[in-house]
């Protein structure tokens, strides 16, 4: 299969490629933990069937996920960009690198200004289950779109799927 930016991976030294994959796995685990916080994730119900203790614990966990998410993704993109920057060989590499970098900036902006704000607003209204779903599904959508465009944001093996 020929993907537009597949060459980026091929030219990256093995140890750097493994490092990126490790970070992708860490992000996948982070999202799975977020998802598993909510007992009603599959049922798509609200927090009605959970006691107040469980609901408060979910609220606290969501806040900490929100806090860590941006840092984690920003750090990962910085590492990924440094690795790519060190492996640019042709003007074409440079052009694709710049558009990849611009897309990272757009994604971080989107997480900060839209996703986290919207999930916080829903959480404040008392529907923590919906707030967790919104954050999780928003991140999966963002990562899937980025992977389709730039090939390697999350390896398929990370097994992040919306409906799995």
Rounded to the nearest whole angstrom, what is the least distance from the CB of residue 152 to Fe ion in the complex?
A: 7
Residues 133, 43: contact at Cβ < 8 Å?
no
Of 20, 31, 132, 153, the residue at the interface with Fe ion (CB under 5 A) is 153
Of the candidate spans 10-18, 54-62, 85-93, 142-150, the one that interacts with Fe ion by CB under 5 A turns out to be 142-150
In sequence order, the 6+-apart residues with CB closer than 8 A to the CB of 63 are: 123
Q: Which residue is nearest to Fe ion (CB)?
A: 153
Residues 49, 112: contact at Cβ < 8 Å?
no
Q: Residue 49: is it exposed, middle or buried by C-beta count within 10 angstroms (0-12/13-18/19+)?
A: exposed
**Residue 65 vs 97, nearer CB to Fe ion:** 97
**Residue 4 vs 126, nearer CB to Fe ion:** 4
Binding region for Fe ion (CB under 5 A) = 150, 153
């Amino acid at each position: 299969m020929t993907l537009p930016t597949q060459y980026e991976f091929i030219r990256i030294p093995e140890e750097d490629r493994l490092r990126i994959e490790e970070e992708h796995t860490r992000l996948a685990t982070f999202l799975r933990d977020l998802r598993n916080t909510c007992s009603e994730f599959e049922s798509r119900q609200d927090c009605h069937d959970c006691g107040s203790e469980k609901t408060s614990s979910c609220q606290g966990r969501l806040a900490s996920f929100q806090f860590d998410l941006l840092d984690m993704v920003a750090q990962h993109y910085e590492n990924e960009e440094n690795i790519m920057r060190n492996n640019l060989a042709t003007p074409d590499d440079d052009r694709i690198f710049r558009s990849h970098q611009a897309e990272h900036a757009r994604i971080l902006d989107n997480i900060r200004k839209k996703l986290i704000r919207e999930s916080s607003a829903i959480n404040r209204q008392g529907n923590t289950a919906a707030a967790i779903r919104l954050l999780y599904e928003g991140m999966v959508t963002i990562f899937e779109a980025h992977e389709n465009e730039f090939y390697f944001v999350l390896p398929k093996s990370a097994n992040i799927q919306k409906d799995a």
